Amino acid sequence: MPETIPLRELTLSHVLSQHAARRPDKVFLTELASGRQWTFSQLDTWTNQIAHALHSLGVDAGTHVGLLLENSAEHIAVFLGLGKLAAVSVPVNTAARGDLLAYYLEHADVELVVVDEDLVARLAPVLPLLKRVRRVVTVGRFGQPCRDGGEQLGQASADLASCVANASAAPVKQGPKFSSLVMLAYTSGTTGPSKASMVSHACALSYGTGGVEAHGYNADDVFYVCLPLFHVNALLTSTITALVCGACVVLAQRFSASRFFDEIRACKATTTNLLGAMSSFLWARQPQADDADNALRLVSVSPMPSFTQAFERRFGLRAVSNYGLSDFGTVTSLRADAPESKRGSMGVPRSYFELRVVDDDDLECPVGEVGEIVLRSKQPWRAATGYYKMAQATADANRNQWFHTGDRARRDEDGYLWFVDRKKDCIRRRGENISSFEVEQIVARHPAVGAVAVFPVSTPQQDEEVGAAVVLRDGHALGERELVEYCAARMSYFMVPRYLRFVSELPTTVNQKVEKFRLRESMEAALDEVWDRERAGILLAR
């Protein structure tokens, strides 16, 4: 089915209804925390009810609906139900509060908010600031009616379970087009206000059709989803990909390194996605005799760490990788059958997209030369269509008819892409451009290192130095001098970290991306107290 879906039929409602007709009794969704399950037919019926219930509360085609929801079956079902109405979901990071939460909902022109009862207290203080919000729908735990959270919101609130209980299960008559907007995906930018990428139905489902093409996902797969659904990785790269190929989704509430493989074994998962520091957290755990006792066949690991091959052997799986941005889509894949010499690369472009590596004048770089990755879709609506209400930012990103990612890479003679760094994550020290990614990869190879983050540190001399925050593996000891000597033997002298700090953990977002700006701010605020290679009198040979 995924290979033959015509572009005009790429809508959530069409794909779900097709599976409900062809495999009605197959379980699609399992919620680990409660044990609840839904077949394709049951999910199709439930999302019809949700669509009619929300329509009765004023949601029509084009209405923007905020989702302040943790991982739950209701989160997925509300997203699909809104899609059937051709309404627009606005998933919001559940860690947002105060001014930031108000910014997301106000900037997105949200008219109704669906919120977990446990997050009502987060929403209530900002609700008076949201001029467009007319109603709030509360969601109780595990499908139960909301206990009392709605009372904090006044008469404008309604309970989802109660509304759905009396709603029609008939199909929605006027569904979306493939080009209809299905969601606004907020980027997790660390500078300036966050931007909302406009994602159509076709774009959302292209995450799935591209995943099937690149990795051979099929109806026998079981996707274990533990990343937060308010980000595109869990929602589109995992859940919607499983929907496209008629597979199963097992939904966990959150990532836990200690429970990860127990849950993987219990649900017989065949695939999952690891982002950011997740692979390092799992790798740093004490090896167990049953580490490889699981059904995993493919695990998407982005970025691939230096210990990938040992990780594969220890856990009995094959690692693949994907590169993409919520601003555009998932555009490259490193497949399981890629040559070993290409392991660690970002792979090659998926068939729907064009990719170039260009210089500062937007001219294509020769093979092997580092430049910025720019992207273009071969078909309309397969990629995000710009930033909502940010025309200048959209124009700036889409210069010369190509989307500019801000990521730097080089292309080899076989067309494989090798990540170098993000432009904003590049350290410029005394005229040398230093890849923080490359420094991290080398430091991470030290047997005592469990995780590392490398970032620029501003000095009083208006220059940048290399700073590093390092988490040691349990039971290991390591001194600053020893680590510097290890680095000096394996990298250019100007790449060796000057400032070092050992920390108990790296601050991460709920999507497990390391918040380097926090580490940088903390180090720069106490630079005289941070271990300094030059102050320690260590001289590096050029």
Separation of first and last alpha carbons in the chain:
58
Contact between 200 and 226 under an 8 Å Cβ cutoff? The reply is no
- Residue 189 has a CB neighbour count (10 Å cut-off) of 11
Per-residue pLDDT in tens (0 to 9) along the chain, 542 residues: 445 789 999 999 999 999 999 999 999 999 999 999 999 999 999 999 999 999 999 999 999 999 999 999 999 999 999 999 999 999 998 888 888 789 999 999 999 999 999 999 999 999 999 999 999 999 999 999 988 766 777 767 899 999 999 999 999 998 899 999 999 999 854 345 789 999 999 999 999 999 999 999 999 999 999 999 999 999 999 999 999 999 999 999 999 999 999 999 999 999 999 987 789 889 989 999 999 999 999 999 988 888 999 999 999 999 999 999 999 999 999 999 999 999 999 999 999 999 999 999 999 999 999 999 999 999 999 999 999 999 999 999 999 999 999 999 999 999 999 998 777 777 878 767 788 888 898 899 999 999 999 999 987 766 789 999 999 999 999 999 999 999 998 888 888 999 999 999 999 887 788 888 899 999 999 999 999 999 999 998 76
**DSSP assignment letter at 504:** S
Contact between 181 and 289 under an 8 Å Cβ cutoff? The reply is no
- Quickly count helices (H) and strands (E) in the chain: 16, 26
**Whole-number Å distance between alpha carbons of 223 and 217:** 10
Contact between 331 and 312 under an 8 Å Cβ cutoff? The reply is no
Q: Write out the two tokens for 306.
A: 């230096």
Name the nearest CA neighbour of 259 among 217, 284, 226, 287. Answer: 226
Distance of CA 492 to the CA centre of its chain: 32
At residue 292's C-alpha, the angle toward residues 268 and 228, to 5°, is 55
**Whole-number Å distance between alpha carbons of 231 and 69:** 11
**Whole-number Å distance between alpha carbons of 433 and 137:** 50
3-state SS of 439-478?
Answer: HHHHHHCCCCEEEEEEEEEECCCCCEEEEEEEEECCCCCC
- Kindly give, in sequence order, each residue whose CB lies less than 8 Å from that of residue 487, ignoring residues fewer than 6 positions away: 439, 442, 443, 495, 496, 497
What domains can be seen in the chain, in order of their start residue? 2-23+34-169+176-202 (3.40.50.980), 430-532 (3.30.300.30)
Q: Write out the two tokens for 303.
A: 């970025």
- SS3 label, residue 293: coil
- Residues found in the chain: 542
